[in-house]
Amino acid sequence: MPSVYDFSVKLNSGEQKPLADYRGKVLLVVNTASKCGFTPQYKGLEELYQKHHAQGLEILGFPCDQFGHQEPGSDAEIKSFCELNYGVTFPLFAKIEVNGDGADPLYKFLKSQAGGILGEGIKWNFTKFLVGRDGEVLERFASVTTPSALESKVEKALKG
Protein backbone atom coordinates (compact mmCIF):
# COMPACT_ATOMS: atom_id res chain seq x y z
CA MET A 1 0.00 0.00 0.00
CA PRO A 2 1.40 3.44 -0.87
CA SER A 3 2.46 5.90 1.81
CA VAL A 4 3.72 9.48 1.84
CA TYR A 5 7.23 8.03 1.68
CA ASP A 6 6.63 7.12 -1.97
CA PHE A 7 6.62 10.80 -2.99
CA SER A 8 9.30 13.36 -3.73
CA VAL A 9 8.59 17.09 -3.56
CA LYS A 10 10.47 20.25 -4.40
CA LEU A 11 11.87 22.30 -1.53
CA ASN A 12 11.56 26.08 -1.48
CA SER A 13 15.22 26.15 -2.59
CA GLY A 14 14.37 24.22 -5.75
CA GLU A 15 15.98 20.90 -4.83
CA GLN A 16 14.00 17.66 -4.78
CA LYS A 17 13.28 16.15 -1.37
CA PRO A 18 12.23 12.50 -1.10
CA LEU A 19 9.67 12.21 1.68
CA ALA A 20 11.30 8.88 2.51
CA ASP A 21 13.89 11.08 4.27
CA TYR A 22 11.20 11.63 6.92
CA ARG A 23 10.59 7.91 7.50
CA GLY A 24 9.84 7.25 11.17
CA LYS A 25 8.74 10.85 11.83
CA VAL A 26 5.26 12.20 12.50
CA LEU A 27 4.35 14.68 9.78
CA LEU A 28 1.94 17.57 9.77
CA VAL A 29 1.44 18.56 6.13
CA VAL A 30 -0.12 22.00 5.63
CA ASN A 31 -1.03 24.05 2.56
CA THR A 32 -0.16 27.63 3.46
CA ALA A 33 -0.62 31.21 2.25
CA SER A 34 0.91 34.53 3.32
CA LYS A 35 -2.07 36.82 2.81
CA CYS A 36 -4.87 34.80 4.40
CA GLY A 37 -6.94 35.23 7.53
CA PHE A 38 -5.36 31.99 8.75
CA THR A 39 -1.76 33.16 8.08
CA PRO A 40 -1.15 33.79 11.83
CA GLN A 41 -1.29 30.00 12.20
CA TYR A 42 2.35 30.06 11.08
CA LYS A 43 3.14 31.19 14.64
CA GLY A 44 1.26 28.25 16.17
CA LEU A 45 2.79 25.81 13.70
CA GLU A 46 6.28 27.03 14.59
CA GLU A 47 5.49 26.72 18.33
CA LEU A 48 4.27 23.15 17.80
CA TYR A 49 7.40 22.40 15.77
CA GLN A 50 9.74 23.82 18.41
CA LYS A 51 7.99 21.94 21.20
CA HIS A 52 7.84 18.52 19.50
CA HIS A 53 10.54 18.44 16.82
CA ALA A 54 13.02 16.68 19.12
CA GLN A 55 10.43 13.90 19.66
CA GLY A 56 10.09 13.36 15.90
CA LEU A 57 7.59 15.91 14.58
CA GLU A 58 8.15 17.46 11.17
CA ILE A 59 5.88 20.18 9.83
CA LEU A 60 5.90 20.47 6.05
CA GLY A 61 4.58 23.75 4.65
CA PHE A 62 3.31 23.82 1.06
CA PRO A 63 2.48 27.34 -0.15
CA CYS A 64 -0.50 27.42 -2.50
CA ASP A 65 -2.08 30.29 -4.46
CA GLN A 66 -5.33 28.54 -5.40
CA PHE A 67 -7.55 30.23 -2.81
CA GLY A 68 -8.30 33.91 -3.33
CA HIS A 69 -4.82 34.60 -4.79
CA GLN A 70 -3.53 34.73 -1.20
CA GLU A 71 -0.03 33.44 -1.98
CA PRO A 72 1.14 35.62 -4.89
CA GLY A 73 4.86 35.74 -4.01
CA SER A 74 7.81 33.79 -5.35
CA ASP A 75 9.27 30.93 -3.35
CA ALA A 76 12.05 33.25 -2.10
CA GLU A 77 9.55 35.94 -1.07
CA ILE A 78 7.41 33.38 0.75
CA LYS A 79 10.40 32.02 2.67
CA SER A 80 11.52 35.53 3.64
CA PHE A 81 8.00 36.50 4.76
CA CYS A 82 7.66 33.38 6.92
CA GLU A 83 11.07 33.78 8.55
CA LEU A 84 10.76 37.52 9.20
CA ASN A 85 7.16 37.61 10.40
CA TYR A 86 6.75 34.24 12.13
CA GLY A 87 10.27 32.88 12.72
CA VAL A 88 9.44 29.77 10.68
CA THR A 89 12.20 27.15 10.80
CA PHE A 90 10.20 24.11 9.64
CA PRO A 91 10.65 23.09 5.98
CA LEU A 92 8.87 25.12 3.32
CA PHE A 93 8.40 23.66 -0.11
CA ALA A 94 7.93 25.17 -3.55
CA LYS A 95 4.52 26.65 -4.29
CA ILE A 96 2.13 23.97 -5.52
CA GLU A 97 -1.47 23.35 -6.48
CA VAL A 98 -3.53 21.17 -4.17
CA ASN A 99 -6.72 20.87 -6.26
CA GLY A 100 -7.59 20.31 -9.90
CA ASP A 101 -5.69 18.75 -12.79
CA GLY A 102 -2.43 20.38 -11.69
CA ALA A 103 -2.62 19.14 -8.10
CA ASP A 104 0.67 17.85 -6.77
CA PRO A 105 0.72 14.02 -6.61
CA LEU A 106 1.37 14.17 -2.85
CA TYR A 107 -1.84 16.13 -2.35
CA LYS A 108 -3.79 13.81 -4.61
CA PHE A 109 -2.64 10.98 -2.35
CA LEU A 110 -3.35 12.83 0.92
CA LYS A 111 -6.87 13.73 -0.21
CA SER A 112 -7.57 10.16 -1.30
CA GLN A 113 -6.56 8.92 2.15
CA ALA A 114 -8.50 11.47 4.20
CA GLY A 115 -11.41 13.25 2.57
CA GLY A 116 -12.99 16.34 4.03
CA ILE A 117 -16.55 16.90 5.18
CA LEU A 118 -17.57 18.05 1.70
CA GLY A 119 -15.47 15.58 -0.28
CA GLU A 120 -11.80 15.18 -1.12
CA GLY A 121 -11.04 18.70 -2.38
CA ILE A 122 -9.08 21.11 -0.22
CA LYS A 123 -11.47 23.90 0.74
CA TRP A 124 -8.99 26.61 1.82
CA ASN A 125 -5.50 27.47 3.03
CA PHE A 126 -4.11 25.82 6.17
CA THR A 127 -5.84 22.46 5.73
CA LYS A 128 -3.71 20.01 7.71
CA PHE A 129 -2.93 16.30 7.34
CA LEU A 130 -1.44 14.36 10.25
CA VAL A 131 0.71 11.44 9.13
CA GLY A 132 1.95 8.71 11.47
CA ARG A 133 5.50 7.41 11.76
CA ASP A 134 4.57 4.60 9.35
CA GLY A 135 3.68 7.07 6.56
CA GLU A 136 -0.06 6.43 6.85
CA VAL A 137 -2.44 9.41 6.90
CA LEU A 138 -4.06 9.49 10.35
CA GLU A 139 -6.41 12.45 10.09
CA ARG A 140 -7.30 15.60 8.18
CA PHE A 141 -8.11 18.93 9.82
CA ALA A 142 -9.91 21.98 8.43
CA SER A 143 -8.36 25.43 8.18
CA VAL A 144 -10.18 26.61 11.30
CA THR A 145 -8.43 23.96 13.42
CA THR A 146 -5.59 25.78 15.12
CA PRO A 147 -2.17 24.20 15.61
CA SER A 148 -2.64 24.31 19.40
CA ALA A 149 -5.89 22.35 19.04
CA LEU A 150 -3.88 19.59 17.32
CA GLU A 151 -1.30 19.21 20.05
CA SER A 152 -2.92 16.23 21.81
CA LYS A 153 -3.31 14.40 18.47
CA VAL A 154 0.33 15.14 17.59
CA GLU A 155 1.47 13.89 21.00
CA LYS A 156 -0.56 10.70 20.59
CA ALA A 157 0.96 10.11 17.13
CA LEU A 158 4.46 10.71 18.50
CA LYS A 159 3.88 8.04 21.16
CA GLY A 160 2.88 5.73 18.33
Locate the DSSP E strands across the chain.
8-10, 16-18, 26-32, 57-63, 128-131, 137-141
Question: CA–CA separation, 160 vs 153, rounded Å?
Answer: 11
Question: CA–CA separation, 147 vs 73, rounded Å?
Answer: 24
3-state secondary structure of 81: helix
Q: Is 64 a catalytic residue?
A: no
Task: Check if the beta carbon of residue 51 is closer than 8 Å to that of residue 71.
Answer: no
Which residue among 33, 36, 64, 98 is the active-site one? Answer: 36
Question: Which residues are identified as catalytic?
Answer: 36
